Structure 1
Amino acid sequence: MIKKIIVNICLLITLTAFAQEGTSSPYSFYGIGDVRFKGTVDTRAMGGVSVFPDSIHLNIQNPAHLASLKLTTFTAAGAYNTNNYKTETQEQNANRTTLDYFAVGIPTGKLGFSIGLFPYSSVGYKIQSLSGDTPPIFSRFNGIGGVNRVFAGAGYQLTKKINIGVSFQYNFGTIETTSLRFINGIEYGTRENNLSDLQGVNADFGITYQTKFKNNRSFFSSLAYTPESKLRLNNTRSIDIIQFLSSGAVGVIETAAIDVPQSTITTPSKLTIGTGYGKVKKWLVGAEISFINNSVLTNRFDDIEENFFENTIRYNIGGYFIPNYSSFSSYFKRLTYRAGLRYENTGLVLQNKSITDFAGTFGVGMPLNGTFSNLNFAVEIGKRGTVFNGLVEENYINFVVGLSFSDRWFVKRKYD
């Protein structure tokens, strides 16, 4: 029964992944959009800390952890995002419901495999303004799309204490942006349409180490590295002569294609180092630091000049607590309570101001009775950007829910 449910969920999520509008941030105009993926629900609830091995939860951030899987595991998650955007003079709210990821992990002795899909970045904004010029100029800017990643990874238990792993991703997607302008008193306006089809490949490499002390405490450390890679962009641009119709729609009077060069965007390298300590199935605390070479990023078109990118450092700290993992008398004592913090310089610089992102996270993992499966919840409360220098401050709350189905799938029956 669970297998049929998983197949149906996979089909539904695959369709949703290609159709969703994953962000409403004006900052998603730059580069390849907002980089969305922050990890699975259980790691997001711990501030993004992914140093801990787990036998029944998939870890997509470091492929070496796949060697720790003991059961075949399917995981999927979605999020409801509520955002408040404000400048020095205006304020606006927006909500989104999005897919976060889905993946399947399969253990085979010392070797573990995983395949899956997640939206890596998203573009999604709608902005309009009326200038104070004489005559006034009405402008509207829209963007949609992003980059998705299909991945396949493997982890191997090199020794009882050391795992190694590698994951390969195929990146694909479409980003479409439009800018419309009308001058008051002039019947016709103009609309510029830009379309980019993106594709490329990249890889992740990981290694983990764990050891257990005599006091039943464990120490964990991990290292994950993503080298630079290339995204190839097939760009097209057109200019429309338009007018507003009485119905409120936009009518196209004439269209002209504009030659624009094809381009390549370099995605940054990333090095993540993590460490953790605690008592497995009771409590663990950990921290990670990531160094991301975002200065290699560029925009899709050369005529976007008001920004640049800088190198990034990301800090994550978090952990979990389980009152009594094997309690028979109280279900609540078997829950996993998680919390954490994360802070990063996103790499985007506007008006000579670095755009930063800070969030506090917490969540709970709820075991499904009679199985090794879990229902996991996470909440992120954070702020990105600033109202100063003519920029936008984003205050957000993200509610994330995920399912983790774990079972023994490939066991030969002894009796028919």
Structure 2
Amino acid sequence: MIKKIIVSLGLLFSFSALAQEGTSSPYSYYGIGDIKFKGTAETRSMGGLTIFPDSIHLNLQNPAHLASLKLTAFAIGGTYANTKSKTETQEEKARRTALDYLAVGVPIGKLGLGFGLIPYSSVGYKIQSVSTDEVPIYSRYSGVGGVNKVFFGMGYQLTKKINIGADIQYNFGTVETTNLRYQNEIQYGTREGNESTLQGFNVDFGATYQTKIKNKLNFFSSLTYSPESKIELNNLRYIELIQFLSTGGISTIQSEDVTVADTSIKLPSKFSFGSGLGVVKKWLVGAEVTLINNSVMSNRFNDINGATFENSVRYSLGGYYIPNFNSYANYFKKITYRAGIRYENTGLVIQNKSITDFGANVGFGLPLGGTFSKININFEMGKRGTKYYNLVEENYFNISVGLSLSDRWFVKRKYD
């Protein structure tokens, strides 16, 4: 049954992942877009904490955890995002639903393998502004697209206490942005379009350590490192003379291609380290720090101004609690209760102001019948940016749902 579910869901969501509009943020105009992937639903519920070596859940941020799998795991997750964007004078709301990840993990003795698809970043915004000239100039800005990752990873149990792992990722995608300008008294307007096709590779390395301190109390530790890599961009630009139709549509009167140089964007190196204490199948509390060399980042075109990048840091604090993992009489005692907070400097600097992001999370792991499979639900509330200095403050409420199906595969039948 689980294998049939995997096939049907995989076919459904793998296609939609390539064309979804997963953000409504104007900040997604810069770099490779708004970085959407923040882990699976269960790790997001703990503020992004990734230190726990789970035997039934996939950890997509540290490949060393693949070696901890005891059952074949299929994971799929998505997020419903509700965002209120504010400036000092205006306020708008937007809603988006998008796929977060689709992955499979397979244990083979001390080795664990994982592969899947992750919509990594997203571009999606629609903005209109009006100048204060005597004859106002109306400007409309819009963008769609993003970067997807196909990955393959391996984890190996080096000793009973140490796991190591690595994965390779192929990045690909398309970003399209337009800038339309017109005046009411003039028959025609102009529209500039830019399109970038992106592709490149990067790798991640990881390690985990766990040891028993006393009785059932364990110490957990995790580290990951991603070296700097590069995404190549094939860029196109065109300028159009347009006319608005009575139906509300737009007719192109004349179009001309503009020669622009192909560019490349460096993906920053990243290092994270975290540790925590806990009792397996009972509780865990931990913290994690991630350092990102975002100062090497750049924009898609050389003539994009108004934003720079700086090195950034992310702090995560969280954990989980299970009242009684083996309870048969009370379902609520088997639920995994998770909570966490996250604070980060995103690395984006606009108007000489660093764009920061803070989020608080609470989540639940709901067991499915008598199996090891779970539905993981995460509720996240947070704020990014500021409404001052001609910037945008984004207040968001996200609901993430992840389906984690775990079962034994490739078992030889004794009876037909």
Taking structure 1 as the reference length, what is the TM-score of the superposition?
0.99
Q: How does 1:31-46 map to 2 (within 5 A)?
A: 31-46=31-46
Residues 124-161 of structure 1 show CA distances to partners (whole Å, capped at 9, x for unaligned) of: 00001111112110000000000000000000000000
Give distance in 1, aligned partners of 2:290 and 2:213: 28
Report the Cα offset of residue 215 of structure 1: 2.0
Asked whether 1:212 is paired with 2:212, we answer yes
User: Which stretches of structure 1, 4 residues or more, deviate above 4 A after TM superposition?
Assistant: none
Give distance in 1, aligned partners of 2:368 and 2:17: 27
Q: Which amino acid in 2 is paired with 1:389?
A: Y
Report the Cα offset of residue 245 of structure 1: 1.0
Q: How does 1:170-189 map to 2 (within 5 A)?
A: 170-189=170-189
- Corresponding residue number in structure 2 for 1:368: 368
Give distance in 1, aligned partners of 2:35 and 2:70: 31
Q: How does 1:7-406 map to 2 (within 5 A)?
A: 7-406=7-406
Report the Cα offset of residue 305 of structure 1: 1.2
Secondary structure of 2:17's counterpart equals helix
Q: CA RMSD in A?
A: 0.6
Give distance in 1, aligned partners of 2:180 and 2:213: 64
Q: Which amino acid in 2 is paired with 1:386?
A: T
Give distance in 2, aligned partners of 1:322 and 1:235: 51
Q: Which amino acid in 2 is paired with 1:310?
A: E
Residues 288-322 of structure 1 show CA distances to partners (whole Å, capped at 9, x for unaligned) of: 00000000000000111111000000000100000
Give distance in 1, aligned partners of 2:233 and 2:291: 26
Residues 375-408 of structure 1 show CA distances to partners (whole Å, capped at 9, x for unaligned) of: 1100110000001101000000010011100000
Of residues 380-389 and 126-135 in structure 1, the stretch that sits farther from structure 2 once superposed is 126-135
Give distance in 2, aligned partners of 1:155 and 1:4: 26
Structure 2 residue ranges without an equivalent (≥5): none
Secondary structure of 1:27's counterpart equals helix
Report the Cα offset of residue 284 of structure 1: 0.2
Report the Cα offset of residue 413 of structure 1: 1.5
Q: Which amino acid in 2 is paired with 1:327?
A: S
**Identity %, equivalent residues:** 65
Report the Cα offset of residue 79 of structure 1: 0.9
Give distance in 1, aligned partners of 2:10 and 2:268: 30
Residues 166-193 of structure 1 show CA distances to partners (whole Å, capped at 9, x for unaligned) of: 0100000000000000023111110000
Residues 314-365 of structure 1 show CA distances to partners (whole Å, capped at 9, x for unaligned) of: 0001000000111111000000000000000000000000000000001000
Q: Which amino acid in 2 is paired with 1:222?
A: S
Secondary structure of 2:371's counterpart equals coil
Secondary structure of 2:175's counterpart equals strand
Structure 1 residue ranges without an equivalent (≥5): none
Give distance in 2, aligned partners of 1:273 and 1:18: 31
Report the Cα offset of residue 33 of structure 1: 0.5
Secondary structure of 1:42's counterpart equals helix
Q: How many residues align?
A: 416
Q: Which amino acid in 2 is paired with 1:298?
A: S
Q: Which amino acid in 2 is paired with 1:251?
A: S
Q: Which amino acid in 2 is paired with 1:172?
A: F
Give distance in 1, aligned partners of 2:319 and 2:265: 36
Report the Cα offset of residue 243 of structure 1: 1.1
Q: Which amino acid in 2 is paired with 1:337?
A: Y
Q: Which amino acid in 1 is paired with 2:128?
A: Q
Secondary structure of 2:389's counterpart equals helix
Q: How does 1:403-414 map to 2 (within 5 A)?
A: 403-414=403-414
Secondary structure of 1:166's counterpart equals strand
Residues 56-114 of structure 1 show CA distances to partners (whole Å, capped at 9, x for unaligned) of: 00001000000000000000011110000000000000000100101000000100000
Q: Which amino acid in 1 is paired with 2:202?
A: N
Give distance in 2, aligned partners of 1:313 and 1:214: 33
Report the Cα offset of residue 366 of structure 1: 0.5
Give distance in 1, aligned partners of 2:395 and 2:45: 18
Give distance in 1, aligned partners of 2:320 and 2:270: 26
Give distance in 2, aligned partners of 1:2 and 1:64: 25
Secondary structure of 1:326's counterpart equals coil
Of residues 357-366 and 11-20 in structure 1, the stretch that sits farther from structure 2 once superposed is 11-20
Taking structure 2 as the reference length, what is the TM-score of the superposition?
0.99
Give distance in 2, aligned partners of 1:143 and 1:19: 13
Give distance in 2, aligned partners of 1:186 and 1:116: 51
Secondary structure of 2:222's counterpart equals strand
Give distance in 2, aligned partners of 1:116 and 1:276: 28
Secondary structure of 1:247's counterpart equals coil
